[in-house]
A = this chain, B = another copy of it.
Amino acid sequence: MPRILVTRKEHFNAAHKMFRPDWPKEKNEAVFGKCANENWHGHNYDLFVTVEGTPHPDTGYVIDLKDLSKLLKEKVVERLDHKNINIDVPFMQGILASTEHLALAIWDQIESEIPKMGDCRLHSLKLYETERNFVELRA
């Protein structure tokens, strides 16, 4: 039997900047370019979370996507949507707000919750900063 993966898409809109306070402004601009704009910029982020597992014999679901969506809204979307990633988000404090780091922080918010929701585990997540730039994490 093939392996079975189930994915849910969520989204949030947030501000951020790529800026190290331990570097002078000039170095931040040289390294991060326009992403270092001191007054922030922002994105419509798309998040795809993929769970691998076995369909439950009663429901045919690897995971109930209503439950996965609820988890993602509580642990991720409500904390990031219409927020400033550098200032407002507890789990990003003191962390450079690259898409890689944001994806890893999201991973940490949800990984241990997934196995409570079925015979399943977190397989991967994709975080799109734009349609042309995105990060994927894989267990």
Contacts and interface: CB of A to CB of B under 8 A. Distances in A.
Interface string A6-34: 11111001111010100000000001111
A66 interface: yes
Give the interface centre of A15, A95, A124 by most chain B CB atoms within 10 Å. Answer: A15
A87 to B, nearest CB: 5
A134 B2 CA distance: 16
Given A81-B34, A139-B2, A133 B60 contact: no
Contacts of A135: 4-7, 62
Interface residues of A, number: 64
A116 B52 CA distance: 30
A30 to B, nearest CB: 11
Indicate how many identical chains form the complex: 6
A59 B98 contact: yes
B39 A41 contact: no
Nearest to A11: B130
A73 interface: no
Interface string A94-115: 0111111101100100000000
A55 B101 CA distance: 8
Q: Which 9 A-B residue pairings sit nearest by Cβ, starting from the closest?
A: A42-B42, A60-B98, A39-B84, A34-B82, A2-B137, A15-B15, A15-B40, A15-B42, A9-B132
